[in-house]
Amino acid sequence: MKEDNYMFRLSDFRTELLHWLRSNPKVIQPVKFHDLVLQWLEDDIPDLSVSRQKSRLQWGIPVPGDPEQTIYVWLDALVNYLTVVGYPQNHSQWWTAAHHVVGKDILKFHAIYWPAFLMAAGLPLPQTIYVHSHWTVEGKKMSKSLGNVINPLDAIEKFTVDGLRYFLLRQGVPDSDCDYYDDKVIKMCNSELADALGGLLNRCTAPSLNPTQLYPRFSNACFPKERLGGKSVSDDYRMVEAVSVLPLIVEQHFENLHVYKALEAISACVRLTNGFVQRHAPWKLDRKVPEDQQWLDTILHVSLECLRMYGILLQPVVPGLADKILSRLGVTPEERSWDSLNFLMRFEGRECGLEGRVLGPDLGVLFSRLERRRTSKMATPQDKS
Residue by residue, DSSP assigns 312-355 as: HHTTTT-HHHHHHHHHHTT--GGG-SGGG--TTTTTTT---TTT
Distance of CA 374 to the CA centre of its chain: 31
* Predicted local confidence at residue 96, as pLDDT: 84
* Predicted local confidence at residue 145, as pLDDT: 87
CATH class of 7-132: mainly beta
* Predicted local confidence at residue 381, as pLDDT: 42
**Domain boundary assignment for the chain:** 7-132, 158-340
- Rounded Cα–Cα distance for residues 274 and 197 (Å): 9
* Predicted local confidence at residue 376, as pLDDT: 37
Neighbours of 18 (CB within 10 A): 14
Pair 270, 192: CB distance under 8 Å? yes
Distance of CA 72 to the CA centre of its chain: 34
Helix (H, G, I), strand (E, B) or coil at 289: coil
In this prediction the pTM is: 0.86
Q: Which residues of 80-108 are buried (b: 16+ CB within 10 A; e: fewer)?
A: ebbeeeebeeebeeebeebebebebebbe
Residue 330: which of 305, 300, 361 has the closest Cα? 361
Q: Please report how the helices 31-42 and 14-23 are oriented relative to each other, as an axis angle in degrees rounded to 10.
A: 150
Residue 4: which of 54, 44, 46, 45 has the closest Cα? 54
* Predicted local confidence at residue 377, as pLDDT: 38
CATH fold of 158-340, please?
Isoleucyl-tRNA Synthetase; Domain 1 (1.10.730)
Pair 278, 235: CB distance under 8 Å? no
Q: Alpha helices, DSSP H only, in 104-233? A: 107-108, 114-121, 152-159, 161-171, 182-188, 199-205
- Rounded Cα–Cα distance for residues 35 and 29 (Å): 10
Question: Which tens digits make up the pLDDT trace of 280-338?
Answer: 999 999 999 999 999 999 999 999 999 999 999 999 999 999 999 999 999 999 999 99
Low-confidence stretches of the chain (pLDDT < 50) are: 375-385
